[in-house]
Amino acid sequence: MSVWDDLDLLLDSPSSLTVASSARGTVKDKANFKVEEDVSALRKAIEGIGTTEKTLVEVLTQRSNAQRQLIAQAYEKKTGRKLVDDLEGDTHGDFEDLLVALVTPPALFDCREVINAIKGAGTTECTLTEIFSSRSNRQIKALSEAYLAETGKAMIHDLKSEVSGEYGEALLILAEGKRDESTNVDTAKAKAEAKALYEAGEKKWGTDEQKFIDILCHRSVPQLRQTLVEYKNISKKTLQESIESEMSGNLETLLVAVVKCVKNAPAYLAERLFKSMKVSFAKWLTESTYCLVAPCPFCAQQTVVLITAGVERNVGPLFYAQHWLKCVNWP
């Protein structure tokens, strides 16, 4: 059974959309952390003849995000140079992207990915979908603040000019970061809304996408989890299956991502990670680097164990995920 179909433990499971970001991860604050020693090691690795990649990996992947920010501050104070600039000057390609991501605050990293997704001709919807379906209200608020500081403009304003239709409407609701955060569950309401979703999709000719958008983009995670259970009781299909059969295009992709993140956000990111490693080389060059690099700074702090478990359970062979985690020296 796919992790997406198993609703048995859903109601009692914590969610990374509601649990504090550092509460469930494997990358904790390093014990006996000595920032000056790390700065010295990084300086030696970067300033010597040739860059010692092993040292960069060992230091930057085995410290928490908060500790990496302290390292970056101490590095600049000691050398007069920004650590990110030295990493960009001494490393190359995807390895450079990964190291730069690791020393970038998560909100700023997301901010720059949103900027890259909407600038120029065309919009990279897959990046926007992944970010806004998988981030909590707190993370989206931090992202919005980083975007304003980086560009001088409101993120919502820029998004409005780049996305349209029902996909754009749903994305903008998520990008406001105002999902209900109540932990209370109204079972009667869940049953009523499950019925409303069934009647808006499976039961009628054509689909009332507005009903799906309103419920999936506004309700709290615990409430939606109860609704998913009630929906399957009514339809005998999961809500994800109904969306996949009733909708298409970017809206389908976004709403399926929302449902998956409500169920298990780490498993959703694990699936994205796995698929990014299976694409053709040509596609890898155009869009998959984000999928491989992005989960590292965002999820190493909070959900690496759950991502690994999600890959193993959801997509079968763990080889691809294990190989990637080994390459970046994730614990």
Establish how many alpha carbons lie within 13 A of residue 229's alpha carbon, considering only the half-sphere containing its beta carbon.
Answer: 17
Whether 287 is in a domain gets the answer: no
pTM passes above 0.85: no
Residue 92 and residue 137 in one domain = no
The residues, any chain, with a CB within 8 Å of residue 206's CB and separated by 6 or more, are none
pLDDT in tens, the chain (331 residues): 566 666 666 666 666 566 554 444 556 788 899 999 999 999 999 987 766 888 998 999 888 888 999 999 999 999 999 999 999 998 888 788 888 888 998 899 999 999 999 987 667 899 999 999 999 999 999 999 999 999 999 999 999 999 999 999 999 999 999 999 999 999 999 999 999 999 998 877 778 999 999 999 999 999 999 999 999 999 989 999 999 999 999 999 999 999 999 998 888 887 887 777 665 444 444 444 455 455 555 554 444 444 444 444 544 444 444 444 444 443 3
Residues 283-291: contacts with CB under 8 Å, at least 24 apart: 287/124, 287/126, 289/94, 289/97, 290/113, 290/127, 291/130
Q: Terminus-to-terminus CA distance in the chain, angstroms?
A: 28
Residue 47 and residue 94 in one domain = yes
Tally of structural domains, the chain: 2
Residue 96 and residue 60 in one domain = yes
Whether 294 is in a domain gets the answer: no
Residue 53 and residue 96 in one domain = yes
CATH number of the domain at 93, please: 1.10.220.10
Whether 303 is in a domain gets the answer: no
The residue out of 62, 85, 102 marking a domain boundary is: 102
Q: Are 217 and 260 a contacting pair, CB within 8 Å?
A: no
pLDDT of residue 203: 76
Whether 196 is in a domain gets the answer: no
pLDDT of residue 162: 93
pLDDT of residue 258: 98
Whether 47 is in a domain gets the answer: yes
**Residues of the domain holding 157:** 106-175
